[in-house]
């Protein structure tokens, strides 16, 4: 479509693009026009490019899912506007195992995010961040918990795609709020999410070696993430006590397995993130934008 528009706009004097949405209710012969707007082709092209840039406004994130019966790591997907509405209007319950439909956003909202600018888009993206962090946090935490434990979260097939869409939607909504990854990846909220993610990895190795493979239902970072999303300072205070035995064991751990290098890497990451956090002011309460950054940090894959 963009290639065609570029060809048209270079030759035609009238280069407006009309974008409209039609809908028909089941059993009703009438068709209703939900949206009808006009934009220049240049604006349409620019909007599409900014949408994609916004969806890439996240670090390296991969989601573990089944494919042909085998677990594989999959890259996040860039959503269509209608898929953004689908995700925003889904609430995840029961530790991310049950999805229910909720109301709040329409295709008109999604096209506003795609094509419009200014304060209206900022207000809409702020409302969408509140919805996605409130409705989808349980799914994101469950995905990371299972992946850290070497498992795959089983999601109903008709909802499995949402796991690959949510990271890029979080990035897009932050982008529409003028929060870009070059800045937020050093924010306190993002660093707290990374810290708790690394704590999960260290806890898992402790369970594998000290507890002979007996892994609890929740790893330490995952158990503290709900607290961190509300009160990050309190979550770090609790973690500082719970992580001590795992940290002490890791400092003296040695055997001939490949885990030695990985465990030492986790210790180094904990030290590096601690030093970064020391230079920041950790907020006593999280804003919705902070929660989005923390969830991205928790999902982010170490380079």
Q: Give the pLDDT score at 5.
A: 75
Q: Other CB atoms closer than 10 Å to residue 142's CB: what's the count?
A: 20
Q: Give the pLDDT score at 303.
A: 57
DSSP one-letter code for 73: E
> Is there a contact between 47 and 60 (Cβ–Cβ < 8 Å)?
no
Helix or strand run (H / E) with residue 82:
helix 81-88
Predicted TM-score of the model (pTM): 0.92
Task: Give, for all 303 residues of the chain, the pLDDT tens digit.
Answer: 777 777 766 655 457 889 999 988 888 888 999 899 999 888 999 999 999 999 999 999 999 999 988 999 999 999 999 999 999 999 999 989 999 999 999 999 999 999 999 999 999 999 999 999 999 999 999 999 999 888 899 899 999 999 999 999 999 999 999 999 999 999 999 999 999 999 999 999 999 999 988 999 899 999 999 999 999 999 999 999 999 999 999 999 887 677 899 999 999 999 999 999 999 999 899 999 999 999 999 999 765
């Amino acid at each position: 479509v963009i290639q065609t528009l570029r060809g048209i706009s270079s030759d035609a004097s009238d280069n407006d693009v009309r974008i409209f949405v039609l809908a028909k209710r089941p059993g009703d012969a009438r068709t209703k026009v939900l949206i009808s707007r006009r934009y220049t082709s240049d604006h349409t092209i620019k909007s599409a490019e900014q949408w994609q840039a916004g969806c890439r406004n996240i670090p390296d994130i991969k989601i573990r899912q089944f494919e042909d019966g085998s677990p594989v790591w999959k890259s996040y997907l860039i959503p269509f506007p209608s898929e953004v509405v689908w995700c925003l209007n889904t609430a995840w319950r029961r530790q991310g195992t049950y999805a229910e439909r909720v109301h709040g956003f329409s295709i008109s909202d999604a096209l506003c995010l795609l094509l419009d600018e200014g304060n209206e888009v900022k207000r809409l993206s702020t409302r969408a961040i509140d919805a996605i962090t409130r409705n989808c946090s349980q799914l994101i935490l469950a995905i990371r918990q299972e992946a850290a434990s070497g498992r795959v979260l089983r999601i109903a097939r008709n909802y499995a795609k949402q796991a690959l869409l949510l990271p890029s939607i979080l990035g897009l909504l932050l982008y529409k709020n003028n929060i870009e990854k070059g800045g937020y990846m050093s924010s306190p909220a993002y660093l707290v999410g990374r810290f708790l993610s690394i704590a999960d990895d260290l806890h898992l190795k402790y369970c594998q070696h000290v507890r002979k493979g007996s892994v609890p239902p929740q790893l330490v970072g995952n158990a503290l993430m709900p607290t961190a999303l509300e009160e990050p300072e309190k979550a770090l205070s609790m973690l500082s006590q719970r992580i001590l035995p795992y940290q002490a064991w890791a400092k003296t751990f040695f055997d001939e397995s490949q885990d030695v290098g990985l465990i030492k890497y986790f210790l180094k990451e904990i030290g590096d993130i601690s030093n970064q956090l020391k230079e920041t002011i950790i907020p006593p309460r999280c804003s919705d934008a902070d929660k989005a950054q923390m969830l991205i940090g928790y999902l982010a894959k170490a380079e």
